Amino acid sequence: MRKISTDTLWDLAAAEVQNRNSNTSEDHGGGDGAVSQRTVFIVGSKTGGKTSILLRCLDRDEATKPTLALEYTFGRRARGHNTPKDIAHLWELGGGNSLSDLVQIPITPLSIRSLSLILVLDLSQPSRLWRTMETLLQAAHTQLGKACSQTQADAGAKHKASSFQPAARVLPKDYPDRELLSPFPVPLLIIGSKYDLFLELESDKRKVISKTLRFIGHYYAASLIFTSTKSELQMSKTKSFFNHLAFGLERGKSVSFDSSKLLVIPSGSDSFIQIGSPPTSDVDIGSLHAKSPLDLWKKVYESVFPPESISENKELKDPAKDPQYSEPQVDSMRAQKDQELQQYRRNAAKSWKELELDT
């Protein structure tokens, strides 16, 4: 007699993904003849150019459009002639900080083995930069911890040892300032976008932004690069970093620490000695009462670029109310239905009050 399966569609899909995952190489690097599959999660400033950068890195000549919540695409690249194409699963989070809860979708127990994070920060909006960086990295870090715990719990239930522990990312022994860093759990690339507009800022302010991002990049053991989609040369350097994360290709040899020029700093190239102390001209560091080096840099940075108040920087949780997604006909009908709903609620409330009076 044929056995009837009681598994749901989601159970079957999860089992299929788990089976495929177990058949890939351990480091997802794609051994000889094996297909490599990596995941790259792109987050960052709202309208910071994430989509434009991604399309350029994929050599896609497409018109950009605002990212609605969370979007997925993929890239493929062959390592040689007549070889299978490696696959990069690419997720992009829209909305800046407002939709940070959605990090739980790309960051899962299955994806963390091959996951990298790209943080795009709009250099032309320095007053929003620190909050964007802080909020999104914290959200990603928290979800990575949850995914890692779930991986270890599942492995324990199956009496297997988990082979991946993102919270314990270990740097090489010769990594500069190794004992003073707080490495991000997965490889991290910080991209400073809109470099062409950044150059319009005063030189002193550009120096503060550059030194601060160098500190952040080094503190998290991340790579850092400034770029503009209007420059082919700058985008070629950015593409080299992207391909390293997405397909495991070698990064370019270019390195630049000069804050008066385009920053190109691969992870492990910088040091606290090279970065120097926070650029303070009008602030007494001793009066800031910082809890840690990271907190000190934050206080100095925000003394130069005060963060916008929550009301000024209010980001809409509901994309339907965001002006960049406006559609006149749809919005008009939505407004009409909203008015009808409000009228219904008023009538219902009135009916209940009359009923209470009658009783």
pLDDT band at 329 (very low <50, low <70, confident <90, very high): confident
- Name every residue whose Cβ is closer than 8 Å to that of residue 274 and which is 6 or more positions away in sequence: 257
Q: Is the pLDDT of residue 317 over 70?
A: no
Q: Is the pLDDT of residue 23 over 50?
A: no
pLDDT tens, 24-77? 433 455 555 677 899 999 999 999 999 999 999 999 988 888 888 899 999 999
DSSP, res 347 = H
| DSSP-derived 3-state class of residue 146 | helix
Estimate the share of the chain in helix, then strand, then coil, as percent rounded to the nearest 5: 45, 15, 40
Please report the pLDDT score of residue 24 as a whole number. 42
Please report the pLDDT score of residue 33 as a whole number. 60
pLDDT band at 168 (very low <50, low <70, confident <90, very high): low
- Name every residue whose Cβ is closer than 8 Å to that of residue 61 and which is 6 or more positions away in sequence: 55
Tokens of 132: 């964007």
Tell me the percentage of the chain whose pLDDT exceeds 90: 56
Mean pLDDT of the chain: 84
Please report the pLDDT score of residue 153 as a whole number. 75
Query: Cβ-count burial of 135 within 10 angstroms (0-12 exposed, 13-18 middle, 19+ buried)?
Result: middle
Own/partner contacts of 298-302, CB < 8 Å, gap of 24 or more, are: 298/130, 298/134, 300/208, 300/212, 301/130, 301/208, 301/212, 302/130
The H or E element containing residue 264 is strand 264-265
**Strands 70-78 and 85-93: what pairing?**
antiparallel
Specify whether the CB–CB gap between 313 and 128 falls below 8 A: yes
pLDDT band at 126 (very low <50, low <70, confident <90, very high): very high
Tokens of 315: 């980001």
Please report the pLDDT score of residue 355 as a whole number. 62
345 versus 16: the higher-pLDDT residue is: 345
283 versus 45: the higher-pLDDT residue is: 45
